[in-house]
Amino acid sequence: MHKVNFVFTKKFKVALTYNVKPEEDPAFKSHSQHAYSIDKDEYAEWDTYETIHAIRDALSIYNDVTLVEADNNCFESFRQLKPDIVFNISEGKNGISREAQIPAILDMLEIPYTGSDPLTLSTCLDKGRTKEILTFHKIPTPKFQVVKTIEQLKNFELNFPVIYKPLQEGSSKGIFDSSVVDDFFELKEKIGIHIERYNQPVIVEEFLSGREFTVALLGNGEETKVLPIVEMRFDEFPEELNPIYSYEAKWIYDTPEKPLNIYNCPADLDKALEEKIKSTVLNTYNILNCKDWSRIDVRLDSNGVPNIIEVNPLPGVLPNPDNNSCYPKAARTAGLDYSTTLNMVLLSAMRRYGMQ
Ligand SMILES: Nc1ncnc2c1ncn2[C@@H]1O[C@H](COP(=O)(O)OP(=O)(O)OP(=O)(O)O)[C@@H](O)[C@H]1O
Ligand SMILES: [Mg+2]
């Protein structure tokens, strides 16, 4: 692991903005038995204090860092604090604007921030819109249908098996082992329940049974780095589970005490496939105007062609390697430790704003 010594042009005032999981609050804990159960995936995307503090500590090596919770008072906090730049990991709350809320506020206040702008964040949160754009640009992505009401299933034309997921979620929220479906009647029944439960449309996609990868990208323009590719090896998976990276796989079977051994980084790839995956994710990153960093999920179709599953412009960065957080895992394989990686994200944003 090589330590990069950064040269920031001065000590900047950095605000780290975040949403903390409610179960981190002692009052919440006393009312709940277990933070991660099937019916408690509501705040799956929010962060723990372990992550928030690890990021703060990493950024504090070079700059002055203040925590700003992305709550209803944050507009005033930013106005008073006047940070030089905001390191944004806030996932926001309420609907499709949620990831865009902090960047939109910061655009209004003319405060620079790390990561993508409101348009990219909202677009990528809507898996259907993202796939429409990718399809226009001829980037392979599984065939799909967005279903707002059960009646729309009468035009159903996809080949089984399919996988259904909430249209606008992340962190495997609403994607369970049972989300892979083989027949139409089962699909119809399950989708009705899902639309109601998650209060949003469902996206149904043809199921790609090939190898799965996730790819971390860092930087902008010509300098964008594709970090070593992570493969999820489903042959190492508990036998009773479908070969998908479901909520159960991510949050129940994979714990720091007993980590799932399904990740292979760097993935074992022949040169041609590696180049194809890299060019596909890089094109996707640029087409969607991703900034500074992102993690892009890829799966091979039956012809071995890399297809884009989804784009995460606010990648999770859990600090403990045993948590198998894929962005830090890819960075570590590239020789970049946790603090180096986060400071590189900050530097990318500063360069973009002409601050470096
Ligand atoms: N069309 C598909 N074919 C095969 N598997 C799929 C497909 N779509 C999703 N999956 C499986 O479901 C998993 C979760 O899907 P997806 O990445 O869309 O959800 P997410 O909750 O947004 O993920 P993240 O945690 O990365 O934000 C994928 O990692 C993959 O294993
Ligand atoms: Mg994903």
**Ligand 1 atom having least distance to the Cα of 142:** 1
- Average pLDDT, integer, range 206-229: 97
**Per-residue pLDDT reduced to its tens digit, 54-76:** 999 999 999 999 999 999 999 99
- 320 in a domain, yes or no? yes
- Same-domain status, 223 and 183: no
* 97 within ligand 1 shell (Cβ under 6 A): no
| E-assigned strand segments in the chain | 13-18, 64-69, 85-88, 144-147, 162-166, 180-181, 202-206, 212-218, 225-226, 230-232, 263-264, 293-300, 306-312
3-class DSSP state for residue 292? coil
Indicate yes or no: pTM above 0.85: yes
- Residue 312 pairs with which residues in a beta bridge? 295
* 237 within ligand 1 shell (Cβ under 6 A): no
Would you place residue 32 in the very low, low, confident or very high pLDDT band (cuts 50, 70, 90)? Answer: very low
- Same-domain status, 200 and 307: no
The CATH number covering residue 60 comes to 3.40.50.20
Domain boundary among 80, 115, 150: 115
- 321 in a domain, yes or no? yes
- Structural domain of residue 160, as residue ranges? 141-206
The CATH number covering residue 229 comes to 3.30.470.20
Using alpha carbons only, how large is the chain's radius of gyration in Å? 20
- 61 in a domain, yes or no? yes
Q: Compute the distance from residue 309 Cα to the ligand 1 centre, in Å.
A: 6
- Same-domain status, 28 and 97: yes
- Same-domain status, 171 and 261: no
- Whole-number pLDDT of residue 3: 62
Query: Quick one: which ligand is closest to 165's CA?
Result: 1
- Whole-number pLDDT of residue 75: 98
Q: What is the total count of domains within the chain?
A: 3
Distance CA 343, CA 127 (A): 29
**Per-residue pLDDT reduced to its tens digit, 132-185:** 999 999 999 999 999 999 999 998 999 999 999 999 987 778 899 999 999 999
- Same-domain status, 231 and 338: yes
The CATH number covering residue 160 comes to 3.30.1490.20
- Same-domain status, 194 and 220: no
Domain boundary among 179, 206, 233: 206
Query: Quick one: which ligand is closest to 180's CA?
Result: 1
- Same-domain status, 217 and 183: no
**Ligand 1 atom having least distance to the Cα of 144:** 1
- 7 in a domain, yes or no? no
- Give the residue, by CA position, lying nearest to ligand 1 atom 21: 172
**Per-residue pLDDT reduced to its tens digit, 82-94:** 999 999 999 998 8
For residue 185, give the amino acid letter: F
Q: Compute the distance from residue 5 Cα to the ligand 2 centre, in Å.
A: 32
